[in-house]
Structure 1
């Protein structure tokens, strides 16, 4: 493979302007196409085979419009002075209802002056709007449009109106722009320190931007033929931006080293792509494998996020092995132009890392014990990780959804923010006077944790009942799921109960994800280890790499537990306390935040792939050194010394990109930002800088051992350049020499 990549890199270097023009043209055409034809999204939250999905399907059968996901919008009313029953305010509400009925796609508007529509204090009310169709309609946009229509008469009468969140977690609108710009600026600063020249620093930024432009264009157009969640482009940007800059940085460092050794430009590009380009391909492959494994989770949103984010990684790999060599061929020695004062260093040997690598190689047992203790301390808090539903009570106080959440809780109780929807199938046609209807309602009312049960609605054929249930607890409270389970456990003769709603749906999705997590983890670990085995032909190295990645994940989950489950950092990252803890000063500073149950699996897939990047970069350098002279201890020291500065710079860039997203107000984005940044920081420093080198020194020649039978059947896909590393066979090691 190295020879093929070398020829590709050499061709791109010789035809740099053509390659550059093609990439820029492709990015422009795809971006233009998405502007013309749009970026349709479809947040498919179906959970095939689950009880919540059965309930949601039954809701669409004869209960009228508005029972599709996102088909109902609630407008919360509040007057601080007087009540909603006063004549001027009531007249304003009636006028607002008329305005809402004129809005296109509105099928039904329910007045707040109905049973259960106004709170006991008469100051808080709720208008319910049922939409005729939700096909291609954004729930958030519908809420904005309806609020704008109702606001004028209500505001004039002194009534505040805010929309409750009409969507699911998949419908979150994450406005990108600021976070990406902050990440790029910090990345540019790190690159300036790493290279010392503006031209060299701009190449990874430019290639990453082109890669993201192409990737987002492809993702946008795919929305016309496949389900693309609204959050997918942002997550794809986060991952694609990080790996795109990292891959280009790795190649650029190798190229500048070859230039410093006097290698001609085109030959330097060819050797760079031949050796380091192979590492980029295999590193990208591990990320794609990890993300693609999310398709096994059985949750449509995770499935879509997995393969769509993988597209951005594919684009990053392709630009790295084609666009980067093209730019290097065009610039030649001008890569070192525009040197910035106070940035970078004249040397390229990374002498600081060379000294550290010698120190680690000289005392492997001590380093192993200390790093193991540190990583254990970072991982222990992960046992206290608290999973749950993240509702709008943890949202930014400045958002209308948070305001609506607080008003509903104050007026109707915490359960009003997450009503449980019960659909009961009966054996024969019934009407509202039949005993079975009152029996179902009465049995649900007796369930512990139920606050209020609304009157049952009967569908057109009279064979199904729809009942809205308000629990005593907020959607994020674990006890709400207990209420769901208790209702499902009811045994009513002649009645088949199914429970839906946001809480029930998330609970079912979580159960399914937990059930399939071992499969996803097993597939990711096995396929990634197999890819490393093909790359380095060393089974012990492949197995050890998988274990090291799992260790870094433990540290990431430990950090999440400290920040969110213990609450030591929740306020520091800009989160507002939920209404339930406001009052006591310390509680507003240190409050716990539940982590969505699907987040650990998503983080596992992303982090396992990204962590393998640094493993591949380090092992490639160590393998090249070992193939030259066969001294294990020396090759580990040389490999760490050669890549330490590059890996550190790459990790700083990745951490900067992820940390920038912590500034976004959405708590789910903050969770991802903290988890990804913490894991990359630990992985690139403690694990790759200390733990991996110390274990490699202790393993000695066992690192590169391979059974003869396995050596015969494995295809030769070595990622080192053949002209740089004459392949030397590694025989079964002598146990007495393994410490060499």
Structure 2
């Protein structure tokens, strides 16, 4: 692989203008295409084979899109100056309803003055608009038109807030300020790391080209597949971090070769042949980890995984093609515009501090190991208290329509109104007269009403064919309350002669998601760990190194989950990351600063896949440096110290950049993005400091020759895969110690 990459890098360096022009053209065309023909987003959380999905399908088949939550738009009305029943306000509401009826695709407008449409205070009401068909694009557009048509009620002093909880397809998470902050922070780190403006701009430029290409592809893919609304933000977070890091690794090595007198094009060839292989391997592990989400049994999570992987592919490809092209074009001007008091030693190798740390760790491995275990144990312990739940609109940013509508509905109709249960029953015997009220309907309502935690049950609705019945049940608890899941199980436990019950709705879907995640998470984790260990085994030809690396990655994940639990499940700092207190809490200082936030059940699994892949980046670069040093002189502890010393600066700079990018995204108003930002930032910080700086070197020093031991039978069957090829500038390797300590994979 190193030979092929070396030839690719050399070609790109010699044809730098053509490669640069091609990448810029691709990025511009894809960006323009995504702006002119933006693909729709759809956060469909359907999980095939679950009870909630069967309820949804039965409702669609038996009652049509008019009863489907995807075919309705709701408008919440609030009259702060008095009841909505005052005639002048009723007239304003009627005028607004008339304007809404005139909108295209509207089939029915239900008045707030119907039974159940007004709150007991008479100040909060609900207009329900039923739409024709199930086109999510139309739902998004109609919701905006409905809001505009509510002008008459606003003129009468009535607040009108659209509540489009029925479909999340109208809200794509937009990118902007956080990316700018992340890029600026990364640029600052790069300026201090390299000490020259030109060198610092290369990773930034290549990352921006990579992100523009990836986001353009993702947007256009929205015309072919259902793209989750989180796709663009996740792709940007991961793509920006790895894109800058991969370019940083290559550039750091290139400047070192230039400083030692190697010609420009030869330096580029060596860099891409050696460090380029590590980049490809590191990116491949991220993609493999994300691809394992295909086994999660959760379509949205599956799509989110492989779409996020597109940004990683773009980062790898730009690193091994665009970066060499820029280096070939710039030549020695890569060190132009030098800044005073920055950049350390010429060539970017100021690693004396890390060398001293490596020597210190190698001399005291047991003490360092004990210290690392204590620190990581303390960071991981809170993960045992992680609380999963539904991250509903009650945690949305204050001032948004989603948050305001949630608050009004809870105040007027109770917390469970924001998460109703949809009970759908298929009847064994067709009801001949839809106008009649057979006993099975009365019995269904009675049994649902009797379930503990059910606040209200609407009258059953029989479909026109007389083959299915629908009942809406309002729980006592909001969708984010764990007790709402118990209500779902209680309703599902109902047995009714002559009917088969299924329960749908947001809370029921969350209950099914929790069950599916609990079932599939061990499988996904086992596959990711096993495949990553196999790749490391192929690369380093050492079972000990492969197993140890997989365990180390799991340790950093534990620290990330511990941080998530502290901030969100225990509430120690939820306000510090910009979360607003949930609906219904008092306004005291303590509750404004310390309040718990549920973590959606799919987030830990998504974080696991992303973080496991990202953690492998630093593991690969550290291990390759240690291995090359070991091959030169055969002294394991000295190799550990030299490996940490040679990679410490670049790994630290890369980690600082990635942490800066992830922390910048914590400023995003979306709670899900905040959770991801906290988890990713903490994991990378811990991984690059405690794990790679203390734990990995100490364990490698203690294992000694076992680090590179490989059974003869295994060595014979393993293919010869090189992560970082042997360069001409490397010294002749020392004679291998006896005992079959194989290093062919790195030669």
Match for residue 454 of structure 2? 450
Match for residue 527 of structure 2? 523
Distance apart, 1:38 and its partner CA:
2.7
Residues of 2 paired with 1:165 and 1:661: CA distance? Answer: 25
Distance apart, 1:20 and its partner CA:
1.0
Distance apart, 1:733 and its partner CA:
7.2
Residues of 2 paired with 1:119 and 1:668: CA distance? Answer: 31
Residues of 2 paired with 1:72 and 1:505: CA distance? Answer: 19
Q: Is the 8 A contact 1:701 1:733 kept in 2?
A: no
Residues of 2 paired with 1:730 and 1:716: CA distance? Answer: 20
Deviations 1:308-357 (A, max 9, x none): 11111111111101111111111111110001233322342311111111
Residues of 1 paired with 2:516 and 2:737: CA distance? Answer: 45
Residues of 2 paired with 1:620 and 1:252: CA distance? Answer: 17
Match for residue 153 of structure 2? 154
Distance apart, 1:45 and its partner CA:
2.6
- Secondary structure in structure 1 of the residue aligned to 2:165: coil
Distance apart, 1:725 and its partner CA:
6.3
Q: Is the 8 A contact 1:171 1:231 kept in 2?
A: no
Match for residue 514 of structure 1? 518
Match for residue 338 of structure 1? 337
- Secondary structure in structure 1 of the residue aligned to 2:137: coil
Match for residue 422 of structure 2? 421
Whether 1:411 and 2:415 are equivalent positions in the alignment is no
Deviations 1:59-98 (A, max 9, x none): 1124243334532221110001111000000011111111
Deviations 1:385-409 (A, max 9, x none): 0111111111111111111111111
Q: Is the 8 A contact 1:140 1:167 kept in 2?
A: no
Whether 1:702 and 2:706 are equivalent positions in the alignment is yes
Distance apart, 1:169 and its partner CA:
6.4
Residues of 2 paired with 1:69 and 1:117: CA distance? Answer: 17
Instruction: Report matched runs for 1:131-146 at 5 Å.
Output: 131-137=131-137, 139-146=139-146
Q: Which moved more, 1:216-225 or 1:297-306?
A: 216-225
Match for residue 369 of structure 1? 370
Distance apart, 1:137 and its partner CA:
1.2
Deviations 1:629-664 (A, max 9, x none): 111111111111111111111111111111111111
Q: Using a 3 Å threshold, how does the CA distance of structure 1 residues 170 and 91 change in structure 2: closer, same or farther?
A: closer
Match for residue 243 of structure 2? 244
Instruction: Report matched runs for 1:354-503 at 5 Å.
Output: 354-430=355-431, 431=434, 432-503=436-507
Match for residue 737 of structure 1? none
Deviations 1:108-128 (A, max 9, x none): 111101110000110000111
Distance apart, 1:193 and its partner CA:
0.7
Distance apart, 1:231 and its partner CA:
1.7
Instruction: Report matched runs for 1:649-728 at 5 Å.
Output: 649-722=653-726, 723=728, 724=730
Q: Using a 3 Å threshold, how does the CA distance of structure 1 residues 49 and 730 change in structure 2: closer, same or farther?
A: farther
Distance apart, 1:551 and its partner CA:
0.2
Whether 1:566 and 2:570 are equivalent positions in the alignment is yes
Residues of 1 paired with 2:224 and 2:65: CA distance? Answer: 26
Return the match for 1:732 from 719, 722, 739. 739
Distance apart, 1:220 and its partner CA:
2.1
Match for residue 12 of structure 1? 12
Deviations 1:439-498 (A, max 9, x none): 111111111000000111111101111111100001000111100110010111112110
After TM superposition, the score normalised by the length of structure 1 is 0.97
Whether 1:215 and 2:214 are equivalent positions in the alignment is yes
Distance apart, 1:604 and its partner CA:
0.2
Residues of 1 paired with 2:194 and 2:327: CA distance? Answer: 14
Q: Using a 3 Å threshold, how does the CA distance of structure 1 residues 332 and 531 change in structure 2: closer, same or farther?
A: same
Match for residue 738 of structure 1? none
Q: Is the 8 A contact 2:710 2:740 kept in 1?
A: no
Q: Which moved more, 1:577-586 or 1:440-449?
A: 577-586
Distance apart, 1:263 and its partner CA:
0.9
Q: How many residues in Structure 1 have an aligned counterpart in Structure 2?
A: 733
Q: Which moved more, 1:512-521 or 1:63-72?
A: 63-72
Q: Which moved more, 1:619-628 or 1:161-170?
A: 161-170
Deviations 1:494-516 (A, max 9, x none): 12110000111121122112201
Q: Is the 8 A contact 1:72 1:166 kept in 2?
A: no
Match for residue 34 of structure 1? 34
| Structure 1 runs not aligned, ≥5 long | 735-740
Instruction: Report matched runs for 1:219-234 at 5 Å.
Output: 219-234=218-233
Q: Using a 3 Å threshold, how does the CA distance of structure 1 residues 692 and 143 change in structure 2: closer, same or farther?
A: same
Whether 1:537 and 2:538 are equivalent positions in the alignment is no
Match for residue 581 of structure 1? 585
Q: Is the 8 A contact 1:170 1:231 kept in 2?
A: no
Distance apart, 1:32 and its partner CA:
2.5
Match for residue 60 of structure 2? 60
- Secondary structure in structure 2 of the residue aligned to 1:581: coil
Q: Is the 8 A contact 2:74 2:127 kept in 1?
A: yes
RMSD: 1.6
Instruction: Report matched runs for 1:279-298 at 5 Å.
Output: 279-298=278-297
Distance apart, 1:718 and its partner CA:
1.5
- Secondary structure in structure 1 of the residue aligned to 2:232: helix
Residues of 1 paired with 2:418 and 2:136: CA distance? Answer: 25
Distance apart, 1:719 and its partner CA:
1.9
Q: Using a 3 Å threshold, how does the CA distance of structure 1 residues 504 and 138 change in structure 2: closer, same or farther?
A: farther
Match for residue 317 of structure 2? 318
Deviations 1:223-252 (A, max 9, x none): 222222222121111111100000000011
Q: Is the 8 A contact 1:702 1:733 kept in 2?
A: no
Match for residue 259 of structure 1? 258
Q: Is the 8 A contact 2:74 2:162 kept in 1?
A: yes
Residues of 2 paired with 1:381 and 1:245: CA distance? Answer: 32
Instruction: Report matched runs for 1:141-220 at 5 Å.
Output: 141-150=141-150, 152-167=151-166, 172-220=171-219
| Structure 2 runs not aligned, ≥5 long | 742-747
Return the match for 2:637 from 622, 633, 636. 633
Residues of 1 paired with 2:515 and 2:452: CA distance? Answer: 22
Q: Is the 8 A contact 2:422 2:473 kept in 1?
A: yes
Deviations 1:261-280 (A, max 9, x none): 11111111111111111110
Residues of 2 paired with 1:15 and 1:40: CA distance? Answer: 38
Residues of 1 paired with 2:138 and 2:527: CA distance? Answer: 35
Q: Is the 8 A contact 2:62 2:467 kept in 1?
A: no
Q: Is the 8 A contact 1:196 1:343 kept in 2?
A: yes
Residues of 2 paired with 1:299 and 1:185: CA distance? Answer: 36
Distance apart, 1:580 and its partner CA:
2.3
Residues of 2 paired with 1:525 and 1:638: CA distance? Answer: 28
Q: Is the 8 A contact 1:239 1:312 kept in 2?
A: yes
Residues of 1 paired with 2:389 and 2:31: CA distance? Answer: 38
After TM superposition, the score normalised by the length of structure 2 is 0.96
Q: Is the 8 A contact 2:416 2:476 kept in 1?
A: yes
- Secondary structure in structure 1 of the residue aligned to 2:125: strand
Distance apart, 1:434 and its partner CA:
1.4
Q: Which moved more, 1:724-733 or 1:66-75?
A: 724-733
